[in-house]
Structure 1
């Protein structure tokens, strides 16, 4: 279990990034043989990109939206890195995507989704109050949200982490 960091913190990340939201929805619980492989496929992909700093993958958060829907909130250096991984035939994503299309296709048993947000430098701000490491702060580390980092508007201006 993670330790709570007391007080107000903000992510130490500076620069642009990509936020990639990806997940699945189990539409038919009783068709375990259909949805279980989809659920299991993400772990090896995350392990693969986590081991490779050159991939551009920064980290992720696992979120359980409901008993039917799981979500991964991923952070990437840039869109080119995300797309390169998704299209690389020798990486784990491509065969998993091919298997999904072959086994599920449009049969409705499992839903999948993703949303991609390209965030320019100074295009995000964060605040964590009395929290365990989470989201971008978990990925990049945190600094105290005091002084010039006390207000959202100042954090959006990209005050350097050391100020």
Structure 2
């Protein structure tokens, strides 16, 4: 995993809308560690599948672990996300059905998700002294150039200015 830090300021270059999917789980009863681990073990298999199946539509992700886990993922479209979730050959449907049958309603483990469709014209992002991260990692990592120095300027030029910077690279 490349963690090279890029000095200076960068933004994300989008050439289309992006679907942002937040998902996680919460260990409510730590003494049920076997159940917690069984639920948690499903996500790495899904991420390996998505990393090796670009047609599934996931553009990238970041994950944080703790009592409540958070995975932020970026998708080409909500249709790609829903198609993955319902695909009998992908590693999501089986674990989801198992969770609903054996864990849901017990209070041992909670799961959650939120989905947002973000228009390319509605994005403002800046990364300063960071490795390639977030939306810039999922789309394009472009330097902040003249006219994109402030959040107000990036909002005013959202989508168009970042695409122009991307095309120049």
Query: Normalization by structure 2: what TM-score?
Result: 0.89
Distance of 2:49 and 2:154 partners within structure 1: 33
1:47 match:
48
More helix by share: 2
Distance of 2:143 and 2:28 partners within structure 1: 43
Spell out, residue by residue over 1:38-61, the C-alpha distance to the aligned partner (whole angstroms, 9 max, x if none).
111001101111111211110100
1:148 match:
147
1:72 match:
71
Contact kept in structure 1, 2:27 and 2:68, CA below 8 Å: yes
1:10 match:
11
Distance of 1:33 and 1:7 partners within structure 2: 45
Instruction: Count residues with an aligned counterpart.
Output: 161
Distance of 2:119 and 2:136 partners within structure 1: 17
Spell out, residue by residue over 1:124-163, the C-alpha distance to the aligned partner (whole angstroms, 9 max, x if none).
1210011122111122231111213223333333212246
Q: Which runs of 5+ in 1 are unaligned?
A: none
Is 1:101 matched with 2:97?
no
Spell out, residue by residue over 1:15-71, the C-alpha distance to the aligned partner (whole angstroms, 9 max, x if none).
10100000000001111111101111001101111111211110100123xx31111
Q: Please, what is the CA RMSD of the aligned residues? A: 1.5
The within-5 A match list for 1:82-97 is: 82-97=81-96
What displacement does 1:97 show?
0.1
Contact kept in structure 1, 2:46 and 2:92, CA below 8 Å: yes
Query: Normalization by structure 1: what TM-score?
Result: 0.92
